[in-house]
């Protein structure tokens, strides 16, 4: 039980870091070889396979020419519900 709680907490931290780095990478215009971009790419390789089933069920919301991806928020909610059910 403790290992599962640890993994859920780690997943929360990784997801939060990925969200923050996505803003830095997308709005900071970092070059391809920048270390922050490499970290973001590594985290994306871990996070995107988890988010893809959520994105299939719930595509991004369209607001004019922009799309708002709510799948990370849904993943946060899933992690919170799982941790509450497990008593973490």
Residue-range domain boundaries for the chain? 2-86
Residue 36 pLDDT > 80, yes or no?
yes
Radius of gyration of the chain from Cα atoms? 15
Query: Are 32 and 41 a contacting pair, CB within 8 Å?
Result: no
Q: How far apart are CA 29 and CA 73, in angstroms?
A: 25
Task: Identify the three-state secondary structure at position 8.
Answer: helix
Max Cα distance, the chain (Å): 45
Query: Which of 6-15, 31-40, 79-88 has the lowest average pLDDT?
Result: 31-40
Name the DSSP class of 58.
S
Per the confidence metrics, is the pTM higher than 0.95? no
Task: Identify the three-state secondary structure at position 49.
Answer: helix
Identify the pLDDT of residue 30.
78
Residue 47 pLDDT > 80, yes or no?
yes
Residue 29 pLDDT > 80, yes or no?
no
């Amino acid at each position: 039980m403790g290992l599962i709680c640890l993994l859920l907490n780690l997943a929360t931290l990784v997801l939060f870091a990925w969200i923050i780095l996505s803003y830095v990478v997308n709005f900071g215009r970092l070059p391809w070889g920048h270390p922050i971009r490499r970290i973001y790419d590594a985290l994306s390789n871990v996070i995107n396979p988890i988010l893809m089933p959520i994105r299939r069920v719930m595509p991004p919301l369209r607001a004019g020419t922009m799309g708002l991806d709510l799948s990370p928020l849904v993943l946060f909610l899933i992690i919170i519900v799982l941790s509450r059910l497990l008593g973490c």
